[in-house]
């Protein structure tokens, strides 16, 4: 958060929200706090010391990550600040430090003063609680910075501005002198010379002055006049996808190509901007956690499948052991004579060639035959078990691949959270939770996605368990059922309340496009999709969730997409 943005927020808080009384303190994530206060209205003052995204603004909603965590810092704040009066938020010049003096009447009638200080500085953000003498009582920051603060600082001192010039009060001649010989097309020049300059403000000066040294002082003066008088809180969004790219209290001409969303107040704009950024961050973290779990499971399954393939290859020698046993039976009751092998005719070979059979010299011929039969029986059992295990592992792999597709296609925090909760079921108990004491909980299913095509409702499963719930819970026998052919993916159900024998062509095409899109073939130009009535599918007995057998179906060639598809429909009946 740049200084000019923080100043606009602080000025607005002082004008519209204060004075106020603190009602309660919450933790917000691991490096943030939320002060609920009552004044002109009931609001939350949100402050974050996140090294990569520090902020301060007022919201009329609690933070999405609100928690009554019993952290030491939160408990201390709550005990010291609950019931305290906030008269104003102070911000000296253009440094990114907001000081909040608070007073509270104690039981004895005495007045106690404390300071809450928020340093909104990227990579060095801190929230400090100080007494009336600015002695540091505690600090919330990244672990290393918090530890260093408590070890090295007893009394608070503001970060130094390193000899930077205040551009709002500096004489124009001094400005010209400072800028002489500097690279005026580099944002770093302005950020290094002037207080309150971050990359946004520096780029705006460069844009408006077009690199002309004589215009720079006037441009700076105009910008700071706008910051005082012409506030227009705006979120600038990238044209493609409309992702939030910047926040500003004034119009920024160098961002003109972007889509602009204006707000009635700076705090409303900050709330919308940071909520969106935090949601995107949470979505990335959720997706990262999901992929870590899913890819880890898939890696283990691939390893297990490779081991099973080796077992099967080894078991393929079973028929050789059987042949050796059968041929040795015909050698009569030859006693052990210390031979390491025997040559005999292979009566099962059309040309009856002789083969050499290895022997255990310590055993008789018949004992060697029995040994080969035993090896054969063991190898056969191993082969059958390996085949069954391979089938089970393949079914499990397909199930996890479907879950990965669901994670890739999930579009928001709620969907990802549902999916994470679903795959976590049946796992180890949480830290500190006894297995014996663990209470059974209701099964969690990801609710299906819903689409409309005319009067028809189309449901798309989000996961393996969700697929099973959709196909064998929500779907009725006469509903239509679709799935990408030979590929992991979502079950798709088209509700059929009128009991039609055939779906209208455009509805079938739409449902098939969704079945292809939400499958491993989602990136292909075309994909085959099987479709049938729900009554013509059945569960695989003992199989993984979502595994089905189709007793009768037809095939459509579809183009994987979310939008309405176009083109001809090709049908093949099986």
281: number of CA atoms within 13 Å, CB side? Answer: 12
Rounded to an integer, what distance in angstroms lies between the CA atom of residue 57 and that of residue 46?
6
Predicted confidence at residue 566, as pLDDT, reads 36
Rounded to an integer, what distance in angstroms lies between the CA atom of residue 222 and that of residue 253?
13
- CA of 164: how far to CAs of 155, 168, 559, in Å? 24, 12, 60
- CA of 492: how far to CAs of 302, 461, 515, 535, in Å? 28, 6, 6, 14
Gyration radius (Cα) of the chain, Å: 36
Rounded to an integer, what distance in angstroms lies between the CA atom of residue 441 and that of residue 427?
12
Predicted confidence at residue 21, as pLDDT, reads 94
Please give the order of strands across the beta sheet that includes 259-262: 244-248, 234-237, 259-262
Residue length of the chain = 574
Rounded to an integer, what distance in angstroms lies between the CA atom of residue 481 and that of residue 475?
8
Q: Are 458 and 492 in contact (CB under 8 A)?
A: yes
Beta-ladder partners of 56: 47
| Cα angle for residues 257, 259, 260 (degrees, 5° grid) | 115
Predicted confidence at residue 411, as pLDDT, reads 75
98: number of CA atoms within 13 Å, CB side? Answer: 32
Q: Which portions of the chain are predicted below pLDDT 70?
A: 64-70, 161-162, 241, 332-337, 425-445, 563-574
Predicted confidence at residue 78, as pLDDT, reads 92
- CA of 133: how far to CAs of 36, 89, 115, 141, 155, in Å? 25, 18, 9, 21, 8
Enumerate domains of the chain plus CATH numbers. 3-152 (2.30.310.10), 172-271 (no CATH), 313-383 (no CATH), 449-573 (no CATH)
244-248 vs 85-86, strand pairing mode: unpaired
Predicted confidence at residue 570, as pLDDT, reads 42
């Amino acid at each position: 958060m740049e200084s000019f943005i923080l100043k606009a927020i602080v000025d607005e808080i002082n004008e519209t929200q204060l004075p106020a009384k603190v009602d309660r303190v919450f933790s917000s994530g691991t490096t943030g706090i939320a002060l609920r206060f009552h004044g002109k209205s009931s609001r939350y003052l949100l402050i974050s010391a996140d090294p990569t995204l520090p902020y301060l603004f007022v919201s009329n909603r609690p933070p999405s990550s609100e928690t009554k965590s019993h952290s030491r810092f939160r408990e201390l704040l709550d005990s010291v600040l609950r019931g305290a009066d906030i008269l104003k938020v102070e911000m000296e010049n253009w440094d990114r430090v907001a000081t909040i003096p608070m007073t509270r009447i104690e039981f004895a009638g005495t007045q106690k003063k404390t300071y809450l200080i928020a340093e909104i500085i990227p990579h060095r953000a801190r929230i400090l609680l100080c007494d009336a003498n600015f002695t540091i009582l505690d600090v919330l920051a990244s672990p290393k910075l918090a530890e260093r603060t408590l070890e090295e600082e007893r009394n608070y001192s503001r970060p130094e501005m390193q000899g930077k010039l205040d551009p709002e009060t500096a004489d124009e001649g001094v400005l010209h002198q400072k800028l002489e010989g500097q690279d005026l097309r580099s944002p770093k020049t302005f950020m290094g010379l002037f207080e309150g300059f971050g990359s946004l403000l520096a780029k705006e000066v460069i844009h408006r002055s077009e690199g002309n040294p004589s215009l720079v002082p006037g441009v700076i003066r105009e910008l700071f006049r706008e910051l005082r008088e012409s506030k227009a809180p705006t979120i600038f969004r990238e044209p493609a996808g409309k992702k939030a790219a910047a926040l500003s209290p004034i119009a920024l001409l160098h961002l003109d190509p972007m889509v602009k969303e204006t707000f009635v107040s700076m705090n409303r704009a900050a709330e919308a901007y940071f909520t969106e950024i935090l949601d995107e961050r949470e979505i990335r973290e959720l997706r990262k956690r999901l992929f870590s779990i899913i890819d880890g499971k898939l890696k283990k399954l691939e390893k297990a499948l490779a081991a099973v393939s080796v077992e099967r290859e080894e078991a393929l020698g079973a028929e050789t052991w059987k042949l050796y046993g059968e041929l040795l039976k015909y050698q009569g009751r030859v006693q052990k004579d210390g031979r390491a092998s025997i040559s005999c005719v292979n009566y099962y070979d059309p040309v009856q060639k002789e083969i050499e059979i290895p022997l255990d010299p310590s055993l008789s011929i018949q004992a060697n035959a029995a040994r080969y039969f035993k090896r054969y029986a063991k190898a056969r059992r191993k082969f059958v078990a390996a085949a069954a295990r391979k089938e089970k592992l393949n079914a499990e792999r397909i199930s996890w691949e479907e879950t990965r597709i669901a994670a890739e296609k999930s579009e928001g925090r709620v969907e990802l959270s549902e999916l994470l909760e679903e795959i976590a079921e049946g796992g180890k108990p949480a830290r500190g939770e006894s297995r014996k004491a663990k209470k059974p909980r209701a099964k969690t299913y990801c609710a299906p996605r819903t689409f409309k095509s005319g009067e028809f409702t189309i449901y798309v499963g989000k996961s393996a368990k969700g697929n099973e719930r959709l196909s064998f819970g929500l779907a009725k026998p006469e509903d239509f059922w679709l799935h990408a052919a030979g590929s992991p993916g979502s079950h798709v159900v088209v509700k059929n309340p009128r009991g039609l024998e055939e779906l209208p062509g455009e509805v079938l095409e739409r449902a098939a496009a969704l079945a292809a899109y939400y499958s491993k073939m989602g990136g292909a130009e075309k994909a085959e999709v099987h479709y049938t009535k729900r009554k013509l599918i059945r569960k695989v007995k003992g199989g993984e969730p979502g595994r089905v057998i189709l007793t009768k179906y037809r095939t459509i060639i579809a183009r994987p997409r979310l939008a309405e598809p176009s083109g001809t429909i090709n049908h093949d009946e099986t």
